[in-house]
Amino acid sequence: MSEQEIKVPDLGGADEVEIIEITVSEGDTVEEEDSILTVESDKASVDLPSPASGKITKISVKVGDTLKEGDVVGMIETDDADDEDNADDEDEKPARDEDEDQEEDKDEDQDKEEKPKKSAEKSGGGSRKETVKVPSMDGAEDVPVIEINVQAGDEVAEEDPLVTVESDKATFEIPSPYAGKVEKVLVKEGDKLSEGDDLLEMTIVGGGDDEAGEETKEEPKKETESKSEPKKEAPKKKSGGGTRKETVKVPNMDGAEDVPVLEINVKDGDEVAEEDPLVTVESDKATFEIPSPFAGKVTKVLVKEGDKLSEGDDLLELTITEDGGEEEAETDTETETEETTEESSKDKDGERESKPKSEEKGKSEESEPVPRTGGGKVHAGPAVRKLAREYGVDMGRIKGSGPKDRILKDDIQAYVKGELQKTQEGGVSAASGAGIPGVKLPDFSQFGEVERESMSRIQVATANNMQRNWLNVPHVTQHDDADITDMDAFRKDLKAEGEKRGVKMTPLAFVLKACAHALAELPQFNVSLDMERKELVRKKYIHIGIAVDTPNGLMVPVIRDVDKKGLWELAAEAAELAGKARDKKLKPNEMQGGCFSITSLGGIGGTAFTPIVSTPEVAILGLSKASMKPVWDGKAFQPRLMMPLSLSYDHRAVNGADAARFTTLLSDLLGDVRRLLL
C-alpha cells in the first residue's frame, strides 16, 4: 500500500475555482475517475476526479475554499499492484514513444510530398471556410444558449469556448474544433440547440483543402457517434412497452413537516384514478387527504399508519399505463442517457441518497446562508449562482423567468429589491416580531419540583397564530350589552320543535344570523387589507367562523353563506362542525374562507374579554355569560337577561364610530329578533 497526493488538475484556463461540494469523506473507497469534489468557476461547475482507485485517507479542504491548478486537496491510499502496473506502463512508454516518433516522421515526410500537390489543387490560397456544428451532448436536445463567448472577427484557438449552454443536468461550454477566425455567429442567446445544428462560420488558415478538412471532421465525429450509439438504440429495445413506474412523493403541505399518517386509503394492487385519495394525514390545523397525481395501479405502499411525512418523502409506487409506446421510448432514452452521463458520479449520488435527512439538512445550513424552502431542482448558470451567494439569496424561493424556469440575474436582483422593500415597509419585521427581545426563562426547578411536557401540534399552531395576529393588527375592543330576554324566551318555545327535528336551537344560531345582517349593513367589517398593494379587498359573501374549544386546542370551523340560511339550518351546521372539531375530523376547506369570527365563553362565565382578531379578517365578536340585571325602562327597574358583547377590530380598517354602530345594531337585532326579517 502507498499514499499519493490528490492534486487539482488543469482547470481549462480558470485561475481560481471555488469548492461548492465535497462528495467523499475520509475512509471512503473510490474508483479511478470517481468524483472527489465539485468546483465552480464563473463559467461552469465541474467535478474533480480521483487520480487512482483506493481509500481516501485525508481531505485537506472544505466547502468555500478556492483552488488553483496543482493545489493538494487530500491523500489517497492505493494498492502496490496499481503502482507496479504504472511502473510497467512507464517502462513500456519509451519504446512506444520511439515507435510513434518513427511513424510520425514517416507521416511528416508523406505530408511534405503531398503538400505541393494539394496546394496546386486548392483555389483558396491556404485557407478554407468551415461551418462549426454542435457536437454530441450526451443525448441532450433543445439545449438553450445562455451565453455567446465570441463575435464575428474574433480569432480563436482550438478548444476555445464558443458558446455556453445549459441542459437539465449541467452548464457547459461548446469548444472550437479548429483554430481560426470567426466569420459569422449563426445563433443568439436563448436559441435551443441539438446535435448537428449550425453554430458559426469560421475561416481556417493553413488547413489544407476541403477534402482534408472533411476527413479531419469525420474522425472526431465517428468517435462521438460510437460513444453515443448505445443510447440511440435504447428506445428501439423498449418500443413495445406501454407502462412505466412512478414513485409518488408527498406534495407541498403549506410548509407542514412531520405530519402523521392517520389512514391509508389504498393497498397493493388497487387501481386508482387521478386525484383519488391515497392517504389521510393530520397537520397542526387540519386532517386532509393526499391525492394521486396519476391514474394507475398501486405496486407498493411505502408508508404505514403513524409514519410522519414531509414534502418530498416517498409515498407509494404506481404502475402507469401509457396510450402508446412512443412516450415510454422517450422516457427510456432519457433514463439510458442519465445512466451513461452520470456513471462517473454514481458513488456521489449513492452516498447522498444514503445519508439521513438530518445530515443533509445540516450540510445545507452550513453551506447556504438562508435555509432552503424546497427540494426541487434550481436551474441557473454558474454566474447567477455566484450572484445569489453574494447576496445571500436562497434560489429555492425564486421563480425563474428564463427558459424551463431558469433563474436569471434579473430574477435575483428583483427578489432582493422586493425583500428590501418589504423590510423598509415593516412587513417582515412586524410579521416575525423582529426587534422584540425574547423572554429568557429562569431555572424553575430552583423554586420547586417541575415537569415538562411537549405542546400538541394544535397548541403550537395556535400560539404562533396568536403571536402573529397580535403583532400585525392594531387592536381595539368595544364592549356592549344585548338584552336577549325575548330572544331566549322564543328559543325555549322552539324546544319541542327542535326535538322533532333532532336539532337543538342555541343562542349561537341567533347571533350568527344577527352578525350576517350587521355585516351586510356595515360592509366595512367584511373586508381584508392588502398592504402590499395598498388595497381593501371587499367580499361579496358572508362566511363566519365559530371558535370551538376541543381537548386538543382551539379550532375555528367556518359556516358558509350564513346570510342565506335559516335558524334551524345554522343551528344544525354549527353543532355538526363543532362535533367534527372535537373528533379531529375537520377538513382544510372547512376552516378556510372566513370573513368574521365569533368566540363564546357564555357556557363558562365571565363578564367581558378582548378576543384577538384572526388575520386576514378585520373583526371578531366575543360573547360572555348572560345574566339577569336590573334595567331601567323609564318608570322602574325590570329584570332583563343581558349578554355582554366584546367586539375586537383592526383599527386600520375599522374606526371607532363604525364599531359602535355595529354593536348597537347587534343589540337591537338580538333584543327583537323580528328585525331579522326586515
| Each residue's pLDDT tens digit, 135-144 | 887 777 888 8
| pLDDT beyond 70 at 321 | yes
- With a cut of 60, say whether residue 335 has pLDDT above it: no
88 within some domain: no
Angle between helices 507-521 and 656-671 (to 10 degrees): 140
At 203, list the grid cell: 475561416
Q: What is the mean pLDDT of residues 594-600?
A: 97
- CA distance linking residue 560 with residue 345, whole number of Å: 55
Nearest to 506 by CA among 643, 638, 608: 643
625 vs 329: which has the higher pLDDT? 625
Query: What percentage of the chain carries pLDDT values higher than 90?
Result: 35
Residue 65 lies in a domain: yes
Predicted pLDDT of residue 424:
55
Angstrom distance (rounded) from CA 12 to CA 20: 18
CATH number of the domain enclosing 269: 2.40.50.100
Predicted pLDDT at 536:
94
672 and 539 in a common domain? yes
3-state secondary structure of 315: strand
Query: Which CATH number is 575's domain given?
Result: 3.30.559.10
Q: Using N-to-C axis directions, what is the helix angle for 325-341 and 210-237, rounded to 10°?
A: 120
Task: Find the mean pLDDT for residues 286-291.
Answer: 78
Write the pLDDT tens digit of every residue in 1-60: 788 889 888 776 677 888 888 888 888 888 888 888 888 776 667 778 888 888 898 898
Percentage of the chain lying above the pLDDT 70 cut: 73
Does any domain span residue 443?
no
Residue among 379, 475, 517, 651 flagged as catalytic:
651
On the question of pLDDT at 332 being above 70, the answer is no
Please report the pLDDT score of residue 667 as a whole number.
Answer: 96
Q: Same domain for 622 and 492?
A: yes
C-alpha to C-alpha distance for 358 and 646, rounded to whole angstroms = 47
Sequential DSSP letters for 612-632: PP-TT--EEEEE---EEEEEE
- What pLDDT sits at residue 217? 42
Mean pLDDT value across the chain: 78
Mean pLDDT of 447-473: 89
Is a pLDDT exceeding 90 seen at residue 480? Answer: yes
pLDDT tens for residues 212-245? 444 444 444 444 444 444 443 443 334 445 688 8
pLDDT confidence tier of residue 275, bands split at 50, 70 and 90: confident
Say if residue 418 is in the same domain as residue 464.
no
What pLDDT score was predicted for residue 323?
A: 54
| 572 found inside a domain | yes
Q: Decide if 434 is inside a domain.
A: no
With a cut of 70, say whether residue 600 has pLDDT above it. yes
| pLDDT interval class at 285 (50, 70, 90) | low
**Catalytic residue at 651?**
yes
Same domain, 396 and 475: no
Residue 327: pLDDT over 70? no
Examine the domain organization and report whether 147 and 290 are in the same domain: no
Nearest-CA neighbor of 508 among 580, 557, 458, 459?
A: 557
Of 321, 337, 372, which one is at a domain's C-terminal end? 321
Q: Which of 237, 256, 288 is the last residue of a domain?
A: 237
CA diameter of the chain = 134
In this structure, of 44-53, 445-454, 623-632, 668-677, the range with the lowest mean pLDDT score is 44-53
pTM of the model: 0.43
**Whole-angstrom Cα distance, residue 255 to residue 262?**
19
Residues 57 and 139 in one domain: no
Query: 101: pLDDT confidence band, cut at 50, 70 and 90?
Result: low
Are both 248 and 232 inside the same structural domain? no
Write out the residue range of the structural domain in which residue 410 sits.
Answer: 355-425
**Shared domain check, 269 and 229:** no
Split at pLDDT 50, 70, 90, the class of 617 is very high
Residues 170 and 220 grouped into a single domain? yes
In a domain, 339, yes or no: no
**Looking at residue 353, what is its pLDDT?**
41
Residue 628 and residue 484 in one domain: yes
pLDDT surpasses 80 at 199: yes
Question: Domain for residue 445, yes or no?
Answer: no
How many folded domains does the chain comprise?
5
Q: What is the mean pLDDT of residues 168-192?
A: 86
pLDDT tens figures, 341-362? 444 444 444 444 434 343 443 3
SS3 500: helix
State mean pLDDT over 483-501: 94
Residue 100 resides in a domain = no
The answer to whether residues 494 and 591 belong to one domain is yes
For the segment 476-499, the average pLDDT, to the nearest whole number, is 95
- In this structure, how many other beta carbons lie within 10 angstroms of the beta carbon of residue 265? 15
Q: What is the pLDDT of residues 102-111, one digit of tens each?
A: 555 555 555 4
What pLDDT, on the 0 to 100 scale, is given for residue 206? 62
Mean of pLDDT values over 253-278: 85
Task: Please give the C-alpha separations between residue 368 and each of 46, 267, 357, 407, in angstroms, as whole numbers.
Answer: 19, 40, 16, 17
* Angle (deg, nearest 10), helices 382-391 and 409-425: 20
Same domain assignment for residues 219 and 70: no
Q: What is the CA radius of gyration of the chain?
A: 37
What band does 297 get if pLDDT is binned at 50, 70 and 90?
very high
Q: Residue range 534-559: average pLDDT?
A: 93
Last residue in a domain, options 237, 261, 279: 237
C-alpha cell belonging to residue 347: 458513488
* pLDDT tens-digit readout, 426-438: 444 444 454 566 7
The pLDDT assigned to 373 comes to 44
Find the range with the poorest average confidence among 323-327, 356-360, 507-511.
Answer: 356-360
